[in-house]
Structure 1
Amino acid sequence: MSVKQLCNNYQENLNLMQRALRVSASFDIVSRKIQIGSKSACLFFIDGFAKDEILEKIMEFVMKLKPEDLPPQLIAFEQQFIPYVEVTLEKEIEAIVTQVLSGTIMLLLEGYDQAIAIDARTYPNRSISEPEDERVLRGSRDGFVETLVFNTALLRRRIRDPHLTMKIMQIGQKSHTDVVMCYLSDKADPAMVSMIEKKLKAVEIPSLTLSQESLAECLIKKHWWNPFPRFRYTERPDAASANIMEGKVILIVDNTPAVMILPTSFFDFIQDTNDYYFPPLVGSYLRIVRMVVFLLTLFLTPLWYLAVKNPTLFPDWISFVQIEEMNSVPIILQLLIVEFIIDAIKLASLNTPSALNGSFSVVGALILGDFAVKAHWFVPEVLLYMAFVSIANFTQPSYELGYTFKLFRLLFLILIAFLDVWGLLLGIILMLIIIAKTDTITETSYLYPLYPFNKQKFCQLFLRQPIDKSNS
Structure 2
Amino acid sequence: MVRENIPIYKTREENVAYMDQILPIKESFDLIRRDLFIGGRVSSFYFINGFNSDDTMLKIMDSLLKVKAEDMPENVWDFSSACIPYVEVEVLFDFDQVFKNLLSGVTCVFIDGYQACIAIDCRTYPARSVEEPDKDKSLRGSRDGFVETLVFNTAMMRRRIRHPALIMEMQEVGDSSRTDVAICYMGDRVDKELLHNIRSKIKSIQTDDLRMNQQSLAECLFRRKWYNPFPKFKFTERPDTASACLLEGKVVILVDNSPSAMILPTSIFDIIEEANDYYFPTLTNVYLKISRALINVMCVFLTPVFLLFMQNLNWLPKVFAFVAVKDTVNIPLIYQLLMLEIAIDGLRLAALNTPSMLSTPLSVIAGLVMGEFSVASGWFNSEVMLYMAFVAVANYTQPNFELGYALKFMRLELLVLTALFNWWGFAVGTVLVVCSICFNKTLSGRGYLHIRLT
Q: Shorter-chain TM-score category?
A: over 0.9
Partner of 2:197: 195
For the Cα contact (< 8 Å) 2:53–2:124, is it kept in 1? yes
Q: 1:362 Cα shift?
A: 1.5
Q: 1:442 Cα shift?
A: 1.7
Letter in 2 for 1:13: N
Partner of 1:297: 299
Partner of 1:48: 50
Letter in 1 for 2:444: T
SS of 2:16's partner is: helix
SS of 1:333's partner is: helix
Q: 1:2 Cα shift?
A: 6.2
Partner of 1:381: 383
- The worse-fitting range, judged by mean Cα deviation, of 148-157 and 13-22 is 13-22
For the Cα contact (< 8 Å) 1:171–1:207, is it kept in 2? yes
Q: Which runs of 4+ in 1 moved over 3 A?
A: none
SS of 1:162's partner is: coil
2-structure distance, mates of 1:416, 1:379: 19
- The worse-fitting range, judged by mean Cα deviation, of 320-329 and 154-163 is 320-329
Partner of 1:345: 347
Unaligned runs of 5+ in 1: 458-470
Do structure 1's residue 234 and structure 2's residue 236 form an aligned pair? yes
For the Cα contact (< 8 Å) 1:308–1:321, is it kept in 2? no
Deviations 1:328-380 (A, max 9, x none): 21110000000001001111111111111112101211221111112211111
- The worse-fitting range, judged by mean Cα deviation, of 159-168 and 321-330 is 321-330
For the Cα contact (< 8 Å) 1:20–1:97, is it kept in 2? no
Counterpart mapping for 1:47-446 below 5 A: 47-446=49-448
2-structure distance, mates of 1:32, 1:437: 60
SS of 1:82's partner is: coil
Letter in 2 for 1:174: S
2-structure distance, mates of 1:242, 1:410: 36
SS of 1:420's partner is: helix
Q: 1:276 Cα shift?
A: 2.2
Q: 1:271 Cα shift?
A: 2.1
For the Cα contact (< 8 Å) 1:21–1:97, is it kept in 2? no
2-structure distance, mates of 1:198, 1:373: 57
2-structure distance, mates of 1:400, 1:173: 29
For the Cα contact (< 8 Å) 2:273–2:398, is it kept in 1? no
1-structure distance, mates of 2:205, 2:346: 35
For the Cα contact (< 8 Å) 1:171–1:205, is it kept in 2? yes
SS of 1:272's partner is: coil
2-structure distance, mates of 1:392, 1:439: 25
Please report the RMSD computed on the Cα atoms of aligned residues, expressed in angstroms. 1.3
TM-score calculated relative to the size of structure 1: 0.94
Deviations 1:314-340 (A, max 9, x none): 311111110110232111000000000
SS of 1:408's partner is: helix
Percent of pairs with identical residues: 44
Deviations 1:234-263 (A, max 9, x none): 011111111111111000011111100011
1-structure distance, mates of 2:283, 2:106: 51
Unaligned runs of 5+ in 2: none
TM-score calculated relative to the size of structure 2: 0.97
* Number of residue pairs the alignment of both structures matches: 452
1-structure distance, mates of 2:267, 2:224: 18
2-structure distance, mates of 1:321, 1:73: 86
Structure 1 residues 199 and 369, CA gap change in structure 2 (3 angstroms): same
2-structure distance, mates of 1:223, 1:276: 32
For the Cα contact (< 8 Å) 1:23–1:31, is it kept in 2? yes
2-structure distance, mates of 1:312, 1:158: 60
State which of 31, 34, 47 in structure 1 corresponds to 2:33. 31
Partner of 1:464: none
For the Cα contact (< 8 Å) 2:39–2:72, is it kept in 1? yes
SS of 1:395's partner is: coil
Deviations 1:412-431 (A, max 9, x none): 00000011111111011112
SS of 1:394's partner is: coil
Q: 1:443 Cα shift?
A: 1.4
Partner of 2:17: 15
Letter in 1 for 2:339: I
1-structure distance, mates of 2:314, 2:377: 30
Q: 1:436 Cα shift?
A: 3.2
2-structure distance, mates of 1:222, 1:186: 31
Letter in 2 for 1:365: G
For the Cα contact (< 8 Å) 2:131–2:144, is it kept in 1? yes
SS of 2:396's partner is: helix
For the Cα contact (< 8 Å) 2:309–2:315, is it kept in 1? yes
1-structure distance, mates of 2:284, 2:24: 61
1-structure distance, mates of 2:218, 2:4: 33
For the Cα contact (< 8 Å) 2:272–2:399, is it kept in 1? no
